[in-house]
Amino acid sequence: MGTFSNTWRHIRRSPYQAFAAISVMTLTFLVSGMFFLLSVGSTIVLKYFEQKPQIIIFFKDTKKEADVNELQDRLKLMDKVASVKFVSKEDALAIYKEQYKNDPLLLEMVSADILPASIEVSATKIEYLPDLANLLKKEADVSDIVFPEDVVNILVSWTTSIRQVGMLLVIFLSLVSLFTVVTVISMKIALKREEIEILQLVGAANWYIRMPFMAEGIIYGLVGSLIGWIVNVLILVYASPLLMPLFVGIPLFPIPLVFYAIFLAMMLALGTFLGILASVLAINRYLRN
């Protein structure tokens, strides 16, 4: 007996309502979870690019080492420059080997000769990048200047849109599932009017009468968020091997187990919160005193 069996009785008696409530909760948490993951992922990628040396100047093989050193010293003295790092042909090969260590074919094709030496210049502020780029363009024997401000800008706008669209969808879906569960529980309360009255007449405290309805809301929230989490994790697990090559060097994969645990805890907490909120709203509306 007790609260749980009463709650189970409530749910079993009206499986369609329970199905509707759990479905909409699941959808909410599925989509919320997805946008959460996207938002976390894109933030990590953005951080990575923001921290990366922001301008890379590749030199022709004709560039003299003394010139490169002189350029480095000059850059280091500038206010706008945070740090300067020289990457020799050999360093470049090492980096290349590390990145493609699983791909013997690509490794064979490359030797230190064909990789250019470069310096990575990071600016103290992102706004200084164009100035620095202009300055560096005037250098002799420069083969290429990679100027990832565009990448960062694109990422910023992507991250912002993901967050905004996600926020709107999450709010909308949360409201839909909130109202669905409120409606389901209100119907239950209406159907159980007589039972509630009898319980009151024999001296049941308010909490005893309310508990099964609360528990019902919580169960909808918990089951919905749990299924939402499971599906998200399955998608991640299956998608990881496909995504990994796209994000070489970015600390995105493998996803630490702790992250899955925190993700689960967050979803369950939100599910519980939504369930409690819905049942409290229904109870306050239809079960005064």
Partner 1 sequence: MFISFDQVTKTYGDKTQALTDTSFKVESGEFVFLVGPSGAGKTTILRLLIHDLVPTNGTILLDKLNIATLLKAKIPELRRQVAMVFQDFKVLFDRTVGENVAIALEILGKPPNEITKKVKEVLQLVDLTDKINQFPVQLSAGELQRIANARSIVGGPKVLLADEPTGNLDPTTSWEILKILREINKLGTTVIMATHNVDIVNSMRKRVISMKKGKIIKDEKSGKYR
Contact set with partner 1 (CB under 8 A): 1-2, 9, 13, 195, 198-206, 208, 289
Closest approach, Cβ 287 to partner 1, in A, equals: 13
Listed in sequence order, the residues at least 6 apart from 133 whose beta carbon sits closer than 8 Å to its beta carbon are: 55, 145, 147
Query: Do the beta carbons of residue 88 and residue 130 sit within 8 Å?
Result: no
201 vs 242, beta carbon nearer partner 1? 201
**CA-based nearest residue to 268, from 218, 234, 231, 233:** 218
Q: Please tell me the distance from the alpha carbon of residue 286 to that of residue 4, in angstroms, as a whole number.
A: 22
Query: Roughly how many angstroms between the first and final C-alpha of the chain, as a whole number?
Result: 24
Closest approach, Cβ 202 to partner 1, in A, equals: 6
**CA-based nearest residue to 54, from 73, 39, 75:** 75
2 vs 251, beta carbon nearer partner 1? 2
4 vs 179, beta carbon nearer partner 1? 4
Closest approach, Cβ 39 to partner 1, in A, equals: 46
Closest approach, Cβ 219 to partner 1, in A, equals: 19
105 vs 201, beta carbon nearer partner 1? 201
Closest approach, Cβ 212 to partner 1, in A, equals: 12
Query: Do the beta carbons of residue 33 and residue 232 sit within 8 Å?
Result: yes
Q: 169 — phi, psi (to 5°)?
A: -60, -45
Closest approach, Cβ 12 to partner 1, in A, equals: 11
Q: Which helix (DSSP H) or strand (DSSP E) does residue 215 occupy?
A: helix 206-243
Within its chain, how far is the Cα of 276 from the centroid?
26
Closest approach, Cβ 203 to partner 1, in A, equals: 3
